[in-house]
Amino acid sequence: MNSLGLSPKESLALTLAKSGSEEVSVLAGPPASTAHIATAVHKLSVCFPDMSSEFFSILAERIGKTGMSGKRLEYALNRVLDTFTYKRLTIADILGIDVKCRILTYSAMCNEVARNGGSTDDYAPIRINGAEKPSWVLKVDKARYHIPDEL
């Protein structure tokens, strides 16, 4: 169990941030299906014809092995198609795209408020896997990313 009461498997979506807080991908969910991966890789291959078929084969393999969620894959695909201005991709250009939200303990939230100003009213409690104590996220992030009261 980690500090948020998660088992190692459940905490895969959480990563330790440099500030000592934890963060969760707001694009978490079930891994992308084989069909979803194939469709995304095909779209990328059409839009980036200078890339080799071997590159796209390895990209598909890495997406599957990393367990990238379908939601995150769709977001990454759209982000690259809409904003990428280079002729060549790297695997990291796809796998590195995510949207994360910081999750704080009560103590970390209070320290952040004291350090940066604001109020504890700027934060909303969430429960992760029925943990005894809630964790805290910024209310604006909770609304923006539709974070439920319980993860």
On whether both 84 and 112 belong to a single domain, the answer is no
In a domain, 150, yes or no: no
Cα distance between residue 72 and residue 108, in whole Å? 28
| Residue 136, φ and ψ in degrees, nearest 5 | -130, 140
Residue 16, pLDDT score? 37
In a domain, 4, yes or no: no
State the CB neighbour count (10 A cutoff) for residue 133. Answer: 13
Beta partners for residue 88, in sequence order: none
Query: What is the domain range of residue 62?
Result: 34-95
The model's pTM: 0.73
Residue 59, pLDDT score? 97
Intervals of the chain under pLDDT 50:
1-20
On whether both 82 and 51 belong to a single domain, the answer is yes
pLDDT in tens, 58-69: 999 999 999 999
